[in-house]
Amino acid sequence: MSGQVSSGRLSKVFNIAKDALKMGLVLLVICVIAAGALAQVYSITKVIIDKNEAEAEKKKRRDVLPLAARFEEKEIDGKKYILGYDAEDKQVGSIFKAAPKGYSGPIKITVGVAPDHSVSAVIITKLDQTETPGLGTNIVKPKFLNQFKGKKGNEIKLKKDSGTIDAITAATISSRAVANGVKAGWEQYINDLGEKK
Amino acid sequence: MNKWNVFVNGIMKENPVLVLVIGLCPALAVSGSANDAFGMGIAATFVLIASNILISAVRKFTPDQIRIPIFIVIISTFVTIVDYTMHAADPVLYANLGVFVPLIVVNCIILGRAEAFAYRNDVLSSILDGIGMGIGFTLTLTVLGAVREIIGNGTITLLNYELLNLGEGFKPALMFIMPPGAFLVLGFLIALNRLLIKRKG
């Protein structure tokens, strides 16, 4: 009788083990197929994503310094600058980047500087920021960004902070972040590249 | 239930957002513009149809105890595929939807349909259910987005085209593209849907 009980118990244990093994196998097979499919899709899309990003960067450089025919990267004390030259190898300006903290996350700004060291263009694309839709996102509009053209030093501040830049209605934090970011970057630029001329 | 009923169910009578009131997180969060809302709708619809097909196809081999992990693996695989593809095809839309693309994984509509429908029905019905629910979700989101965008921003954009622009003279009510606007408009849409269902009898 005791033999019957233990053999019953044994087959129960055996059944549980069999079930567990089956479940594990099914899950394994599904995970392997999923991983394979994802690897495929990733390898295809990665190429396109990288290409898009490289092109966006190129377009930004061209938009900031339209006169430049070629660009040269230069690093001073760990800060990167991009120098633009025209077809006759004359320097037509430089580009620096800034990423001040906005209302919700960093705002990546691309700034062009003319040979006379005034700001020539400021570009922020939709992808460079994560501000509030409809309010803070208005910083990408030319109406706001064109105000920076030709400005220097203390002019690059909001009117509220005794500068010359009009803030966007109901988006003072985002506007101030951009203005102060451009100003800080510009001062750094003057420090690094300004004297020699 | 005949196939036609399965298909139209999700559009009005059992509309996921307006009647079942599920999937509200993306519906409220990314419906600030018709363009983003439509993009989210299409992305979720693709995941819904694809996961419905697969879950229905493997339902006979799926041990009951571990069906939920299996659903999650299948759903998250399709979500990741959508994530990569959207990043490559439309970076602006991808940036606008942000974290809500990966969050499609936990969209209750998809897991809900997997559990309540695809796991219990054949592949064809599951496809129809996915399409119907997907259309219901996309339509609701797009209308929600369009209403919020026109009142809150004075424009309607779809597929990156500006369909309508009320111009500089229009003073938009910003609240509508902020979170409270989503609740307000959604409330009116739910009421409208109820009214339509009632009229139809």
Q: How far is CA A77 from CA A72, A74, A80, in A?
A: 17, 10, 8
B69 to chain A: closest CA residue? A27
Among A13, A39, A64, where does a domain finish?
A64
B81 interface with A at CB cutoff 8 Å: yes
Q: What gap in Å lies between CA B155 and CA B169, rounded to an integer?
A: 12
pLDDT, position B188: 92
Domain assignment of residue B85, yes or no: yes
Q: Which one of A30, A52, A127 has the shortest CB-CB distance to B88?
A: A52
The nearest CA of chain B is from the CA of A16 a distance in Å of 12
- ipTM confidence: 0.74
Q: Which domain holds residue A157?
A: 68-194
Name residues 70-129 of chain A within 8 A of B (Cβ): 126-127
Query: Which tens digit of pLDDT belongs to each residue from B50-81?
Result: 999 999 998 888 888 888 999 999 999 999 99
Which residues from chain B sit within 8 angstroms of residue A45, using beta carbons? 84-85, 87-88
Domain assignment of residue B20, yes or no: yes
Domain assignment of residue B66, yes or no: yes
Query: Which tens digit of pLDDT belongs to each residue from B154-201?
Result: 888 887 777 777 777 777 787 888 888 899 999 999 999 889 888 886
B99 interface with A at CB cutoff 8 Å: no
B87 to chain A: closest CA residue? A49
Closest Cα to residue B72, out of B34, B115, B38, B43? B115
Mean pLDDT of chain A, nearest integer: 84
Length of chain A: 197
Domain assignment of residue B199, yes or no: no
If asked whether residues A93 and A42 sit together in one domain, one would say: no
Q: Which domain holds residue B61?
A: 3-191
Q: What is the DSSP letter of A156?
A: S
Number of domains in chain A: 2
Among A9, A39, A64, where does a domain finish?
A64
B30 to chain A: closest CA residue? A133
If asked whether residues A177 and A89 sit together in one domain, one would say: yes
Interface mutation target, options A38, A51, A107, A137, chain B, most CBs of B under 10 Å: A38
Among A64, A85, A101, where does a domain finish?
A64
Query: Which tens digit of pLDDT belongs to each residue from A57-106?
Result: 888 888 888 877 788 888 777 788 888 888 888 888 888 888 889 888 88
Please report which confidence band the pLDDT of residue A143 belongs to, taking 50, 70 and 90 as the band edges: confident
